[in-house]
Amino acid sequence: MNTLLKRSSAALGLLGLALTGCQPDLDAPQADKGTADFSNYVAVGNSLTAGYQSGGLFNEGIQNSYPNILSKQFAKAGGGAFVQPLFADNQKDGSGYLNFQGFTATGSPILLSPGQNGNTRTYQLAYTGQTLISGERQLAAYAGAQPNNLGIPGISVLSSVAALTGGLAPYGLLNPYLNRLLPAAERPTVDYLTYIGRATPSFFTCWLGSNDVLTYATAGGVASPSNPFSGLTDTTRFGQGYRTIVRTITKNGTVKGVIANIPSVTDVPYFTAVPVATAIASIKGNTALPNAAQASLYIRTGAGAVREATANDLLTLTASSVIGTATPGVPLPVGVGYSATQANPLPSQYVLDADELAAVRTRTTELNKIIDKTARQYNVPLFDVNAFFSTVAKDGFAINGTANSTSFISGNLFSLDGIHLSSRGYAVIANEYIRVINEKYKSSIPFANPDEYQAVLFP
């Protein structure tokens, strides 16, 4: 019997040994740079490249910009340091951002800007107290090393190249985000094209052009007379500008990179969060209105006509806080947009009417053709963001068991302003860049995990 016990304890010992060797290991995927060189990655673009989200540019957003997420993945395949134009620590909230304070009784999100009545958040803003000639508040100048992330919120192809407007508008004096990156002496003279021409990238991404249609679209198709960059950019100047920019950042086609195109405005929650049908239903159901059942939503079109809104019109996100408010001189319950007969249709800047929408769509398609052609001309692969967001808008985009969509707030991908992405959305974009890069340059850059980047934080 003792022999048996000895034998069985030996057997148990063997089992223990087997167990310690039991933990399986999966080899880490090989990260290979392929034919690309990520040692000095430079990102050219607008707010989407800068990391702008929830209505502002601030350090947390900059840290979660898609170029920064990309650079972290590139670092696994020989990528170098990536400098970001951060605000000083004591001004970390930069231009400020929307604060999500909760939902109204009817389920609308309460989103408040810095300083707005009722906003309980305290911000460490970076405003200097000076105002630029555009009327925008100046931000504290960036004092760090030459950044790799050259994204400038608000910039378009038209405003990037001074020659396109005959130097009419010195963009460094108009845009606070370019203003803060340029030395004071250069602000009147150095345009974005010149600025990016100083970079010496080994690899680049270029995502420009959205503001050549989006600035107009988000303003409900109302171009501002005081802003020469607020209309739809014409194809001639866009083509000239775009080709010049790509020639500059590729150093005449010698630097590898990726080019991204312009997403469709109809895939962005800023234009889809408040459907016309929903707005009309809520008006007809408003018991405070006399004859609510006969009421509807009336808009002033870009052409100046007043008519009932239809499903072919897109209301901007900002419209929701205007519809039904008191018109000066006209007391409630007759609110803005409720009636055609009163002088209170929803003003044109809150609606992208069917004609304006058609114009935006047509121009987006035209500009994307220019982008596509330029990319092929310089042998740079195209990241078709337009197609990507069309798919996401249609089917959603699930990752790691999380359902994401282009819905406002609940969709995870877009930030509180409904136009710019959330940190998670930027991580998704970074992964789609990686997909294009890996295919074109035979590299194997691993994907980031979007779930590690925050979507909307709920109160």
Partner 1 sequence: MNLKSLLLAGSTLLVSTAASAGGFQVTLAGQKNNGMGGVGVGLSLDQAAMFYNPGALAMVRERGVQVGINATMARSAFRAEYGGSQRELRNSTVTPFNLYAGLGPSEGKFRAGIAVYTPFGSKLQYADGWEGRYSLTDITLESVFVQPTVSYAITDKLSIGAGLVILAYGSVNLQRDVPVQDQQGNTGHVELDGTADHKIGYNAGIYYKPSDKLSIGASYRSQIDAHVKSSNGDVSFSNIPASLSSRFTAKHFDVTLPLPATASLGIGVTPTEKLTIGLDANYVFWSKYKSLNFTFDGPVGGATTSNSRREYKDAVTLRLGGQYQLTSGLTVRAGGSFDFSPVKDGFVTPETPDADRLGLNLGASYKFGEHFGIDISGQFINLKKRTQTQAELASNGTTDRVAGTYKTRIVIPGVGLNYTF
Task: Give, for 130, the enclosing helix (H) or strand (E).
Answer: strand 127-131
Collapsed DSSP state (helix, strand, coil) of residue 199: coil
Minimum gap (Å) between residue 395 Cβ and partner 1 = 8
Minimum gap (Å) between residue 279 Cβ and partner 1 = 22
Minimum gap (Å) between residue 278 Cβ and partner 1 = 17
How long is the chain? 459
Nearer to partner 1, 211 or 422 (CB): 422
Q: What is the 3-state secondary structure (H, E, C) of 27-94?
A: CCCCCECCCCCCCCEEEEECHHHHCCECCECCHHHHHCCHHHHHHHHHHHHCCCCCCCCCCCHHHCCE
Collapsed DSSP state (helix, strand, coil) of residue 103: strand
Those residues whose C-beta lies under 8 Å from the C-beta of residue 25, and which sit 6 or more positions away, are none
Nearer to partner 1, 44 or 70 (CB): 70
Minimum gap (Å) between residue 400 Cβ and partner 1 = 5
Minimum gap (Å) between residue 457 Cβ and partner 1 = 5
| CA–CA gap between residue 28 and residue 13 (Å, rounded) | 31
Distance of CA 57 to the CA centre of its chain: 11
Asked if 160 and 241 count as a contact pair (C-beta separation under 8 A), the reply is yes
Nearer to partner 1, 26 or 185 (CB): 26
Nearer to partner 1, 233 or 405 (CB): 405
Is the sign of the CA dihedral 216, 218, 221, 224 positive or negative?
negative
Nearer to partner 1, 138 or 444 (CB): 444
Minimum gap (Å) between residue 441 Cβ and partner 1 = 20
Collapsed DSSP state (helix, strand, coil) of residue 198: coil
Torsion of CA 31, 199, 240, 71, to 10 degrees: 30
Nearer to partner 1, 150 or 429 (CB): 429
| CA–CA gap between residue 444 and residue 34 (Å, rounded) | 7
Minimum gap (Å) between residue 9 Cβ and partner 1 = 11
Nearer to partner 1, 278 or 379 (CB): 278
β-pairing, 314-315 vs 351-352, is antiparallel
Minimum gap (Å) between residue 405 Cβ and partner 1 = 12
Q: What are the CA-CA distances from residue 353 to residues 19, 111, 315, 368, 407 (Å)?
A: 68, 25, 8, 22, 21
Q: What are the CA-CA distances from residue 110 to residues 102, 113, 148, 191, 420 (Å)?
A: 5, 10, 35, 38, 18
Nearer to partner 1, 292 or 447 (CB): 447
Q: What secondary structure letter does DSSP report for 18?
A: H
Minimum gap (Å) between residue 10 Cβ and partner 1 = 11
| CA–CA gap between residue 112 and residue 220 (Å, rounded) | 21
Minimum gap (Å) between residue 319 Cβ and partner 1 = 23
102 conformational bin, left if phi > 0, alpha if psi -120 to 50, beta if neither: left
Nearer to partner 1, 75 or 292 (CB): 75
Nearer to partner 1, 439 or 458 (CB): 458
Asked if 221 and 348 count as a contact pair (C-beta separation under 8 A), the reply is yes
| CA–CA gap between residue 36 and residue 205 (Å, rounded) | 12
Chain residues that interact with partner 1, rule: CB under 8 A: 1, 4, 8, 11-12, 15, 18-19, 22-26, 28-29, 102-103, 395, 398-403, 412, 431, 446-452, 454-459
Minimum gap (Å) between residue 446 Cβ and partner 1 = 7
Nearer to partner 1, 22 or 143 (CB): 22
Give the helix ranges, DSSP H, for 292-411.
Answer: 354-377, 385-395
Nearer to partner 1, 10 or 133 (CB): 10
Q: What secondary structure letter does DSSP report for 145?
A: S
